Copies of this chain bind each other. A is one copy, B any other.
Amino acid sequence: MVPRYARPQMTALWEPEARFKIWFEIEAHATEKLGELGVVPPSAAKALWDWWATNPAIDVPAIDAIEAVTKHDVIAFLTWVAEQVGDEARFMHQGMTSSDVLDTCLAVQLARASDILIEDLDKLLEVIRRRAFEHKLTPTIGRSHGIHAEPVTFGLKMAEAYAEFSRCKARLIAARAEVATCAISGAVGTFANIDPRVEEHVAEKLGLAVEPVSTQVIPRDRHAMFFATLGVIASSIERLAVEVRHLQRTEVLEAEEYFSPGQKGSSAMPHKRNPVLTENLTGLARMVRAYALPAMENVALWHERDISHSSVERYIGPDATITLDFALGRLTGVIDKLLVYPERMMKNLDKMGGLVHSQRVLLALTQAGVSREDSYRYVQRNAMKVWESDGQLSLMELLKADADVTAALTAEQIEEKFDLDYHFAQVDTIFARVFGAS
């Protein structure tokens, strides 16, 4: 975890206090059910919950000190709770194994982390939607291969991002369901020493599904799918970040990250406004993506379990969720306050001397009966002149002076092909698809 790329709510989820609190809840709910089932005295759960109702502080250093001796984290925690609660606490953890606690706790943490991330996505989507409608008909050049193609609108770019992050949200909801399961099934998952109803009870209380079959642990294909999904979401963040970085290039400058007055872009070049937030997001995406791999390597644990996954999850559990939360927040801020320059967009759009309209002319020629090959040749030879003039010549004028072209199209017909609005006729259709009926 890198503090500068962390926000408090998500970070708190991974603090020892939060973990111990979830452990307690799991143990107390389990003891409660064990009491109902007559396995332990009902007084045991009552003692636990009574103590819990006093809102006790979790003494992390004390627990750590016990672990330093026992070299076992759950035993250390249980020992400490027993010291606080007294004799009744000895009934805790009856028939359970450490992993019942650890894995169910991780499920709670990942589910809560997912909830935060889903909220992040909702905020991002809201901001993107606003900018999309704001610039629904702001013309800008569409580029393939970095080269001017045909006109689009800036709103369409935002609509694409909206559709993409909507997919990300759906994926995250699915990924949350993957990992939000509870396992209280004992040493090798056979419930030999614990009634399956305990698991059902704890699952229900914690808002989890029951794990249909566990070994000692919850199977790690679930976590692999979860972290792989985060990696895909991070890649979508990178995509939008790279778009902003491109738009802010000196020669393009169609948009800029908001520049706060006190900010110095460079110690050496005071005029520079660098897209540092989106560059940063590009790097963060690389990290979240990388975490998918060890998560996948974690799947093939030996037999009923080994513990190799644990160290991996101590890194990627916090690192992937905290980083992604931060990145989504940062991206939301970038898009929210993005400085958009419609005039510059129009200027860039115009700068190629109308070349971006060549496709329409090409079509008009073929529709007028010229063969595809000839049409292509007529347009291309004029287009090349414009291209080589660096936008000084006008394609429309050249075409109007080309005998082969004018043999098929009138000047008026040629001019009509250079109309910008023509390209935006279906923007409503696309917006309806993406945002629903307005």
- Each complex incorporates copies of this chain amounting to 4
**Does residue A147 face the partner (Cβ distance < 8 Å to B)?**
yes
Could you give, for residues 387-401 of chain A, a 1 whenever the CB lies within 8 Å of some chain B CB and a 0 otherwise? 100100001000000
Segment with Cβ contacts to B, from A45-53, A94-102, A408-416: A94-102
Partner of A287, one of B69, B236, B274, B294: B294
Interface of A is mostly: helix
The tally of residues in A whose CB lies under 8 Å from a CB in B reads 164
Any chain B CB within 8 A of the CB of A7?
Answer: no
- Tell whether, in the assembled complex, residue B75 and residue A145 are in contact, meaning their CB atoms are under 8 Å apart: no
Does A238 contact B300, Cβ atoms closer than 8 Å? yes
Closest B-chain residue to A239, C-beta based? B300
Q: How far is the CA of A386 from the CA of B270 in the complex (A)?
A: 12
Query: Do residues A283 and B299 form an inter-chain contact, with CB atoms below 8 A?
Result: no
**Is A85 engaged at the interface, CB distance under 8 Å to the other chain?**
no
Contact of A232 among B144, B274, B296, B363 (CB under 8 A): B296
Checking B216, B267, B287, B355 against A93 with a beta-carbon cut-off of 8 angstroms, the contacting residue is B267
Interface 0/1 of A290-328, CB less than 8 Å to B: 111110111111111111111110111001000000000
Q: Which residues of B contact A94 (CB under 8 A)?
A: 363, 366-367
Bound state CA distance, A399 and B291, in angstroms?
48
How far does the alpha carbon of A251 sit from the alpha carbon of B424 in the complex, in Å? Answer: 23
If the complex has contacts A213-B434, A270-B358, A301-B239, are A263 and B309 also in contact, measured as CB distance less than 8 A?
A: no
- Beta-carbon contact of A213 and B264 below 8 Å: no
Cβ–Cβ contact A269 & B193, under 8 A: no
B residues near A95, Cβ cutoff 8 Å:
363
Contacts of A186 in B (CB 8 A): 150, 268
Having A5-B314, A151-B188, one finds 9 other A-B pairs with CB under 8 Å, namely A141-B250, A152-B190, A156-B189, A163-B213, A235-B297, A238-B299, A242-B302, A280-B310, A292-B296
